[in-house]
């Protein structure tokens, strides 16, 4: 990401979640905050970029229905199904963890996730720790204030650039209780980091959490980064995020991810690829959600 500005992909995924909540007749998630957390200025910037890439006829058609421009764009985005499904999967796993007694939720690279604002009934008594880059987190906090919302004391914001500070050090600056189980989510982040940075974060989750703690994280199959892979520089989605200053960097090998986690001090519980996610959460017809087959979400546990 561009260091002095909020993550553009975090803003985009917030708008995707909102569009899904409003436009899908049977949404997997209910995120009415997705729009509100993204300011009008930022939404207008997205519109300008979208219109600039259209030809004259497409631009004229889009301008006849300007209110639907963003929704149409994000609902057609190749990343959209994965964004929706990963949010649902993570919150399903969190709910199960809370039933088993977990009372701490750590969002690594929280972006504009709205869980702390929505607070489903099952989460009323958990502590929430949002860790993100200072620029992104500052904009999010500003938007929450502009919306007139005061969050409870159980929500903690930890500004941290994890490229320069360890996860353990960031959590040590908070009221996080390392001796008690926690649930960690790390969604839509690993693809933007080097393998070394990803492995360091996995090790940090294992070392700073109590046994029984869990982590949900997403990754892209490393095959996408091989020569001729779909994430090559000429891939449209790769080009889009690169233009936003957040290019793809690395993935994991699904056949080795269990070993990677073991070396980091974690055990793999479940690893679902795009087809498996579609089988679990998908539906037929115009509202089918079909993520890229090489997109994965994994659930790991601290033994």
Tens-digit pLDDT profile for residues 214-258: 999 999 999 888 765 555 444 444 445 444 455 788 999 999 999
Residues 55 and 127 in one domain: no
- Higher-pLDDT residue of 241, 56: 56
Co-location of 33 and 93 in the same domain: no
Residue 280 lies in a domain: yes
Choosing from 52, 75, 98, the residue where a domain stops is 75
Query: Which residue in the block uniquely carries the two structure tokens 């029984």?
Result: 212
Q: What is the mean pLDDT of residues 109-132?
A: 96
Q: CATH number, domain at 244?
A: 3.40.50.150
Query: Based on the domain organization, do 68 and 104 belong to the same domain?
Result: no
Residue 114 sits in the same domain as residue 253: yes
Q: Is residue 296 part of a domain?
A: yes
| Same-domain pairing of 63 and 118 | no
Give the whole-angstrom CA distance, residue 201 versus residue 264.
Answer: 9
C-alpha gyration radius of the chain: 19
Does residue 64 belong to any structural domain of this protein?
Answer: yes
Residue 2 lies in a domain: no
Asked if residue 90 and residue 13 are part of one domain, the reply reads: no
Question: Considering only 36-40, 62-66, 108-112, 116-120, which range has the smallest mean pLDDT?
Answer: 62-66
> 275 or 236: whose pLDDT is higher?
275
pLDDT of residue 248: 82
Residue 130 lies in a domain: yes
**What is the per-residue pLDDT across 158-174, written as a single tens digit (0 to 9) for each?**
999 988 899 999 999 99
Number of domains in the chain: 2
93-114 in b/e burial notation, b at 16+ Cβ within 10 A?
bbeebbeeebbbbbbbbbbbbb
Confidence of residue 148 (pLDDT cuts 50, 70, 90): very high
User: What single string gives the DSSP state of each residue in the chain?
Assistant: --TTS--HHHHHHHHHHHHHHHH-SS-S---THHHHTS-HHHHHHHHHHHHHTS-HHHHHHHHHSGGGHHHHHHHTSTTHHHHHHHHHHHHHHHHHHHHTT--EEEEET-TT--HHHH--GGGTT-EEEEEE-HHHHHHHHHHHHHTT----TTEEEEE--TTTS-HHHHHHTTT--TTS--EEEE-S-GGGS-HHHHHHHHHHHHHHS-TT-EEEEEEEBGGGGSTT-TTSTT-HHHHHHHHTT------B-TTTHHHHHHHHT-EEEEEE-HHHHHHHH--SGGG-----TTEEEEEEE--
Range of the domain at 270: 80-301
167 and 182 in a single domain? The answer is: yes
Task: Name the average pLDDT for the chain.
Answer: 91
What pLDDT is stored for residue 233 in this prediction? Answer: 47
- Look at residue 139 and tell me whether its pLDDT is greater than 50: yes
DSSP 137-167: HHHHHHHHHHTT----TTEEEEE--TTTS-H
User: Are residues 134 and 211 located together in one domain of the fold?
Assistant: yes
In this structure, the answer to whether residues 52 and 134 fall within a common structural domain is no
pLDDT at 235: 46
pTM (two decimals) = 0.92
CA dist., res. 76 & res. 129, Å (int): 32
Confidence of residue 12 (pLDDT cuts 50, 70, 90): very high
Domain membership of residue 3 (yes or no) is no
Statement to judge: residues 64 and 130 lie in one domain? no
Looking at 44, 60, 75, the residue that finishes a domain is 75
Q: What is the pLDDT of residue 224?
A: 83
In a domain, 1, yes or no: no
| pLDDT in the model for residue 164 | 86
Q: Is the pLDDT of residue 70 over 90?
A: yes
**For 191-212, how does the pLDDT look when each residue is reduced to its tens digit (9 = 90+)?**
989 999 999 999 999 999 999 9
Same domain, 156 and 201: yes
Is residue 136 assigned to a domain? yes
Distance CA(61)–CA(55), nearest Å, equals 10
CA triplet 117, 2, 248: central angle to 5 degrees?
90
Determine the pLDDT at residue 232: 44
State what percent of residues in the chain have pLDDT above 90.
Answer: 82
Length of the chain: 303
Domain boundary among 59, 75, 91: 75
Same-domain check for residues 66 and 90: no
């Amino acid at each position: 990401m561009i260091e002095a500005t909020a993550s553009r992909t975090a803003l985009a995924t917030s708008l995707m979640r909102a569009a899904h909540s409003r436009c899908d007749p049977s949404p997997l998630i209910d995120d009415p905050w997705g729009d509100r957390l993204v300011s009008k200025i930022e939404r207008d910037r997205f519109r300008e970029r979208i219109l600039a890439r259209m030809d004259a006829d497409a631009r004229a058609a889009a301008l006849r229905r300007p209110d639907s421009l963003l929704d149409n764009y994000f609902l057609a985005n190749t990343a959209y199904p994965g964004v929706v499904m990963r949010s649902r999967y993570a919150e399903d796993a969190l709910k199960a963890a809370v039933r088993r007694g977990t009372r701490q939720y750590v969002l690594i690279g929280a972006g504009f996730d709205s869980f702390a604002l929505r607070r489903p009934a099952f989460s009323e008594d958990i502590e929430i720790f949002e860790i993100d880059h200072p620029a992104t987190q500052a904009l999010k906090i500003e938007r929450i204030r502009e919306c007139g919302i005061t969050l409870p004391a159980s929500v903690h914001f930890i500004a941290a650039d994890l490229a320069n500070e360890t996860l353990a050090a960031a959590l040590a600056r908070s009221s996080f209780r390392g001796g008690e189980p926690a649930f960690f989510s790390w969604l839509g982040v690993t693809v933007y980091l080097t393998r070394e940075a990803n492995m360091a974060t996995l090790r940090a989750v294992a070392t700073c959490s109590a046994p029984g703690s869990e982590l949900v994280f997403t990754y892209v199959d490393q095959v996408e980064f091989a020569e001729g892979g779909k994430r090559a520089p000429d891939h449209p989605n790769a080009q889009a995020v690169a233009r936003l200053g957040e290019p793809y960097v690395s993935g994991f090998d699904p056949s080795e991810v269990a070993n990677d986690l073991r070396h980091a001090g974690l055990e793999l519980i479940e690893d679902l690829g795009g087809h498996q996610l579609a089988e679990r959460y998908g539906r037929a017809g115009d509202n089918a959600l079909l993520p890229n087959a090489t997109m994965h979400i994994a659930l790991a546990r601290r033994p």
